């Protein structure tokens, strides 16, 4: 097992979750964010997620935790084994960050964009070596979900794909490789369904609790779509729906008014303490 660090860009919900997964399997991580408060909060959030994973029996037994070092400068990508970009779901921001990263790392260093909806080949236009870029869609929380969607862009090399498959297997995940397209598989199916569930609540047909109870009890959904929305982050969900609407033209992807109102009110789900449900502690 290599001791070269993996650099994770973004100390938000997904960046912290991915860092937790890597560190739990003994891998050293450089966690980068330009917001000092996020870097300050990250160690406590990582400890919390590690405790939860331990309680759920999701941690490898007897494995020493990998060291996580905070950085505020993207130059921390230099010398990394791989770079995982996990910033907000905004195409222009991701392109800007990936462009900067590609100028700093050595040729052949895999760059992974963790995205729920943005086509990888769009992002590849911004980097120096499109062959080094690939996508993943880790589901939240990464330490508890054993399968990871991998998105191979039209220009992604076989070596990059092999490196990412190897990393995922190293941390106990099952990689499932899909073709590049807006929303790929999971978001293309899940996010419009959550939008419809929110619309049912908006129209007064049923409460959020009843929608989730029916989806769980009758259709076998493990958590219910609206609890899932709170876990994803309603702001992130809305961003993904806009991406899907713009790139597919599917009106079912237009975020409903209830989702837009929750974003405007700052009720983004579990991470803010309020979404479709209320939570005792914010995870921001």
Annotated active-site positions, please? 137
Please state, as a whole number, how many other Cβ atoms lie within 10 Å of the Cβ of residue 28.
18
Under a CB-based contact definition with an 8 Å cutoff, are residues 84 and 18 in contact? yes
Closest CA to 137 of 240, 267, 261, 252: 240
Omega before residue 175 within 30° of 0, cis: no
86 DSSP β-pair partners: none
Measured CA to CA, the distance from residue 267 to residue 270 in angstroms comes to 9
Q: For 203-215, what is the HEC assignment? A: CCCCCHHHHHHHH
Under a CB-based contact definition with an 8 Å cutoff, are residues 197 and 225 in contact? yes
Measured CA to CA, the distance from residue 37 to residue 282 in angstroms comes to 14
Sheet holding 133-137, edge to edge: 68-71, 29-32, 6-9, 83-85, 111-114, 133-137, 147-152, 174-179
Which is it for the CA torsion 149, 226, 272, 260, positive or negative?
A: positive
């Amino acid at each position: 097992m290599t001791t070269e660090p993996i650099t994770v860009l973004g100390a938000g919900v997904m960046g912290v979750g991915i860092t937790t997964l890597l560190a739990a399997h003994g891998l050293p991580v450089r966690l980068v964010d330009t917001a000092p408060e996020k870097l300050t909060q990250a160690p406590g959030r990582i400890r919390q997620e590690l405790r939860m994973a331990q309680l759920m029996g999701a941690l490898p037994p007897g494995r020493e935790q990998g060291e996580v070092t905070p950085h505020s400068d993207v130059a921390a990508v230099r010398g990394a084994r791989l770079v995982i970009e996990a910033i907000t779901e905004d195409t222009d921001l991701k392109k800007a960050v990936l462009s900067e990263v590609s100028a700093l790392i050595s040729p052949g260093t895999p760059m992974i964009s963790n995205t729920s909806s943005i086509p990888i080949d769009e992002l590849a236009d911004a980097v120096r070596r499109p062959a080094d870029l690939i996508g993943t869609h880790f589901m939240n929380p990464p330490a508890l979900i054993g399968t990871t969607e991998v998105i191979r862009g039209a220009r992604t090399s076989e070596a990059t794909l092999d490196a990412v498959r190897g990393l995922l297997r190293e941390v106990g995940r099952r990689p499932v490789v899909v073709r590049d397209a807006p929303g790929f598989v999971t978001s293309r199916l899940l996010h419009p369904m959550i939008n419809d569930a929110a619309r049912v609540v908006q129209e007064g047909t049923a409460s959020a609790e009843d929608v989730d109870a029916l989806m769980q009890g009758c259709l076998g959904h493990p958590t219910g779509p609206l609890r899932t929305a709170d876990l994803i982050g309603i702001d992130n969900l809305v961003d993904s729906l806009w991406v899907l609407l713009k790139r597919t033209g599917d009106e079912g992807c237009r975020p409903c008014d209830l989702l837009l109102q929750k974003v405007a009110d700052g009720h983004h789900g579990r991470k803010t303490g309020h979404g479709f449900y209320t939570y005792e502690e914010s995870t921001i």
